[in-house]
Amino acid sequence: MANMFADIAKKAVANSTVREGRELITTEEILRNYPDGITITEFDILTRRDGSNLVTFPTFAFAEDITKYYNGGLSLKKVVDGWLAHFEGDIESANAALKASGGCKIKLLPMQRTGNGNNFVPVEVIG
């Protein structure tokens, strides 16, 4: 029998299974290489420190290139928050259902600047 405590500990210290064995792709690369969009097949939520603030953001695997992952911003965090709300916060169940459904196709739109100077990437949900 596998050691349940070791399994839980490995998950707790892992960066993300979504990123495991994959290389980061940028917004610019997605816009250039996948102008018709990408199909999200798996996601995770990560937190990083930005100065004295903690920033939470989603990370995604997508069907069009299984060797890459993408870190989303505010628009995609809202999408993931909605998915997690539907699954009562259970990310594993949400991911299983997402995969079973064939994923969710989105299209990144060109980056914009907000009034306070931050970058913002609008997202169109295709289906």
Q: What is the pLDDT along the chain (127 residues), one digit of tens a residue?
A: 568 888 777 666 667 889 988 999 999 999 999 999 999 999 999 998 888 999 899 999 999 999 999 999 999 999 999 999 999 999 999 999 999 999 999 999 998 988 888 888 999 999 8
Q: Is 47 part of any domain?
A: yes
Number of domains in the chain: 1
Phi, psi (rounded to 5 degrees) for 95: -65, -40
Residue 65 included in any domain: yes
Q: Which domain holds residue 30?
A: 14-125
Does a structural domain hold residue 9?
no
Tell me, what's the pLDDT at 6?
Answer: 81
- Closest by CA to 63, choosing from 87, 16, 12, 98, is 98
Residue 24 β-bridge partners:
69
Question: Which residues, at least 6 apart from 34, have a Cβ–Cβ distance to it below 8 Å?
Answer: 64
pLDDT number for residue 21:
86
Residue 79 lies in a domain: yes
**Residue 6 within any structural domain of the chain:** no
pLDDT score, position 117: 83
Q: Strand 112-113 vs strand 104-108: parallel, antiparallel, or unpaired?
A: unpaired
The secondary structure of the chain in percent helix, strand, coil, rounded to multiples of 5, reads 30, 30, 35
Residue recorded with tokens 């993300």: 16
Per-residue pLDDT at 1: 55
Residue 7 lies in a domain: no
